[in-house]
Chain A
């Protein structure tokens, strides 16, 4: 079953591209990876945190609107499925939630825009680098469980940028 109506959801209004009713931009791996490298080189961990928070906030806002567009998709399981489909539709890669509840869980990503882009531009790295995806997961989880931004913490414990087989994300609620 097609979860989303991509043809209808992706539209234009003047110079803007809209996903549902939200303005989006298309950017390539050169820009996305340049921004990541700039943040890491300039501010280190603080820069990484900014990238995560930016993705978390934007994902939270995006899905808050997007779920309104699909009111029949109500359960957490079906909303996760919708979100993962949208992740793929947006060219961000493939992501699966292995487990998730209010306490936390685990997600894996066998392919991603950021991994493909980083490896193409810089090759292997020594530390996990999927900061965007960490923020994306956190933003989605906060919304699914009606928590405030920053409630869920996401750590990347394996990363394909380090030549691990897949990217693995551990998700934990703040009370843990």
Chain B
């Protein structure tokens, strides 16, 4: 059975309209918040600028790590949630389906239109995204970039592979790493994330 992305998006949109008496949105095993993308973009790109030029790579890596660790914990919570069991699990027959389920959830969360381009099971993955809010945000704040700026999606792409092809949770974290060779913030038509095995495997969750 193919993954029905629209059905998953619909479930997220409906679920995000429910909050408990404390004003908290518990859905898919996590606490969800809805807030302006301007917040995330200002925070990320000013954080980068605050680093000395010699430590720019360090800033990038911290932002990517924050997202990869988040993606790893978040999507583990998601795939073990009752909502996943009810809505997504019945559509899953293969590991690729599970990956597509993750992608559908990410689209539902407003992270962009994300498309699976290539998957070599256990080895590498290529995702493409349009409407990444990070690329849009970078261009509107700073103009064209010389490097990829979608740190959140880059970390999350690697986390998807960690969860599906890494060791059992939580040992599989950092099994994979991602690069972003194409990014709309650089003027490319889409953002592309290439995920491959990592050499930095260490558990830091």
The chain A residues found within 8 Å of chain B, CB to CB, are: 6-7, 10, 12, 14-17, 19, 22-32, 34-35, 38-39, 42-43, 46-47, 50-51, 53-55, 57-59, 61-62, 87-94, 110-113, 116-117, 120
Residue of B nearest to A111 (CB): B22
Contact (A87, B47) CB under 8 Å given A12-B13, A15-B110, A113-B33: no
Q: Is chain B's interface secondary structure helix, strand, loop, or mixed overall?
A: helix
Contact (A43, B17) CB under 8 Å given A25-B133, A34-B69, A116-B24: no
Contact (A26, B33) CB under 8 Å given A43-B50, A46-B50: yes
Q: How many A-B residue pairs lie within 8 Å, measured between CB atoms?
A: 171
B110, A35: Cβ atoms closer than 8 Å: no
Query: How far apart are A139's CB and chain B's nearest CB, in angstroms?
Result: 10
Q: How many angstroms from the CA of A35 to the CA of B77 in the assembled complex?
A: 19
* In the assembled complex, B124 has its CB within 8 A of some CB on chain A: no
Q: How many angstroms from the CA of A89 to the CA of B33 in the assembled complex?
A: 9
Q: How many angstroms from the CA of A39 to the CA of B28 in the assembled complex?
A: 27
Contact (A91, B66) CB under 8 Å given A10-B13, A12-B9, A25-B110: no
- Pick the most buried of A7, A34, A39, A88: most chain B CB atoms within 10 A of its CB: A34
Query: How far apart are A36's CB and chain B's nearest CB, in angstroms?
Result: 9
* A117 / chain B contacts, CB cutoff of 8 Å: 31
Interface string of B11-28 (1 = CB under 8 A from A): 011001101001111000
Q: How many angstroms from the CA of A23 to the CA of B111 in the assembled complex?
A: 10
Contact (A91, B19) CB under 8 Å given A46-B50, A58-B36: yes
* Contact sample, A vs B, 10 pairs, CB 8 Å cutoff: A12-B13, A14-B113, A15-B130, A24-B34, A31-B70, A34-B66, A43-B47, A57-B42, A91-B32, A113-B23
A29, B34: Cβ atoms closer than 8 Å: no
Q: Interface size (B, Cβ < 8 Å)? A: 50
- Pick the most buried of B12, B19, B34, B129: most chain A CB atoms within 10 A of its CB: B34
B69, A30: Cβ atoms closer than 8 Å: yes
* In the assembled complex, B73 has its CB within 8 A of some CB on chain A: yes
Query: How far apart are A8's CB and chain B's nearest CB, in angstroms?
Result: 11
Q: Other CB < 8 Å A-B pairs besides A28-B31, A30-B70, 16 of them?
A: A15-B107, A19-B36, A23-B37, A25-B133, A27-B70, A28-B32, A29-B33, A34-B70, A38-B62, A39-B43, A53-B42, A54-B43, A55-B39, A89-B19, A90-B35, A110-B22
Q: How many angstroms from the CA of A108 to the CA of B79 in the assembled complex?
A: 35
Contact (A24, B110) CB under 8 Å given A90-B35, A93-B24, A111-B22: yes
* A46 / chain B contacts, CB cutoff of 8 Å: 50
B24, A91: Cβ atoms closer than 8 Å: yes
B43, A23: Cβ atoms closer than 8 Å: no
The chain B residues found within 8 Å of chain A, CB to CB, are: 9, 12-13, 16-17, 19, 22-25, 30-40, 42-43, 46-47, 50, 62-63, 65-67, 69-70, 73-74, 77, 107-114, 129-131, 133, 136, 152
Q: How many angstroms from the CA of A172 to the CA of B66 in the assembled complex?
A: 33
Query: How far apart are A49's CB and chain B's nearest CB, in angstroms?
Result: 10
B36 interface neighbour in A23, A39, A116, Cβ under 8 Å: A23
B74, A88: Cβ atoms closer than 8 Å: no
Q: How many angstroms from the CA of A14 to the CA of B69 in the assembled complex?
A: 27
A91, B43: Cβ atoms closer than 8 Å: no
Query: How far apart are B175's CB and chain A's nearest CB, in angstroms?
Result: 18
Q: How many angstroms from the CA of A30 to the CA of B130 in the assembled complex?
A: 24
B43, A51: Cβ atoms closer than 8 Å: yes
B31, A91: Cβ atoms closer than 8 Å: yes
